[in-house]
A and B are shown apart, each in its own frame.
Chain A
Amino acid sequence: MFSWLVMHVIGALPVWVWIVLALVGGAGYFFSGLIFAFLPFLLAYKEPFKIACVAICLGSTFMCGGAGVTAIWQEQIKEANARIAVAEAKSKETNIVIQKEYVDRIQTVKQIEVQIQERIVKDATKIDAVCKVAPEAIADLNAAAMPRSKK
């Protein structure tokens, strides 16, 4: 929780803060000799000051780079999400078209089947008058219609 809070606060800082800090750290290191010339009573802290300046400069530059990378990253995410949204809309549109086409085609097949079944019923007398089906023929047809693969 605490680390998240710290990261959130650091993330909320504008980029220019890191740039300023890096410049200040760099300038502090670079002009440390001049600074301590004016403050001779603090000369004992010169080396720690320089180390701190380098640390600040490096840390701030790192954060500045990180902020830049995060900004690019966020922009890429936004672009990718926009592309995905367009693709999803296209996909839904395609689904609707395909679904409609599928339903229409199935409906046509069913309508034709109904017509054919009606014709068979109508022609049943004629069909049955000429031919009597042997049980072997039915057994063969049923064997052909049985599922042939097991899951």
Chain B
Amino acid sequence: MRLAVLLLPLFLAGCLTTPVAQKFPEVPAEMLVACPDLKLIDPATTKLSAVVGVVASNYSQYQECKIKVDTWIEWYTHQKRIFDSIK
């Protein structure tokens, strides 16, 4: 009986998890700027060069936004891989 009582402490055990917070990284500030609307052509103009100028400018705008989206995807993929690697 005495030995049985002395064995009781062996059942006094507990478990804990480590409360370490992991922050998801900040994105570069440039990428947080929203894409602007496309430029509109002056309705009063009849010059094709003015139209071509605005259209070309809008193409450039699209290229910039495409780069931004591609960079977002690349950033997220890289950061998620790093974030998941430490779990």
Partner pick for B45 among A66, A80, A138, CB 8 A cutoff? A138
Query: Are A102 and B43 touching (Cβ within 8 A)?
Result: no
What DSSP secondary structure best describes chain B's contact surface? Answer: helix
Chain A residues positioned under 8 Å from B60 (CB to CB): 109-110, 112-113, 116
Query: Are A98 and B49 touching (Cβ within 8 A)?
Result: no
Q: How many residues of B contact A (CB 8 A)?
A: 54
Shortest Cβ gap from A15 to chain B (Å): 15
Partner pick for B51 among A30, A105, A141, CB 8 A cutoff? A141
Shortest Cβ gap from A91 to chain B (Å): 4
- What mask results when residues 135 to 148 of chain A are scored 1 for a CB within 8 Å of chain B, else 0? 10111011001110
Instruction: Using CB atoms and an 8 Å cutoff, list the residues of chain B in contact with chain A.
Output: 2, 5-6, 8-9, 12-16, 18-20, 22, 25-28, 30-31, 37-43, 45-49, 51-58, 60, 63-64, 67-68, 71, 74-75, 78-79, 82-83, 85-86
Instruction: Using CB atoms and an 8 Å cutoff, list the residues of chain A in contact with chain B.
Output: 22, 26, 29-30, 54, 57-58, 61-62, 65-66, 69-70, 73, 76-77, 80-81, 83-84, 86-88, 90-92, 94-95, 98-99, 101-103, 105-106, 109-110, 112-113, 116-117, 120-121, 123-124, 127-128, 130-135, 137-139, 141-142, 145-147
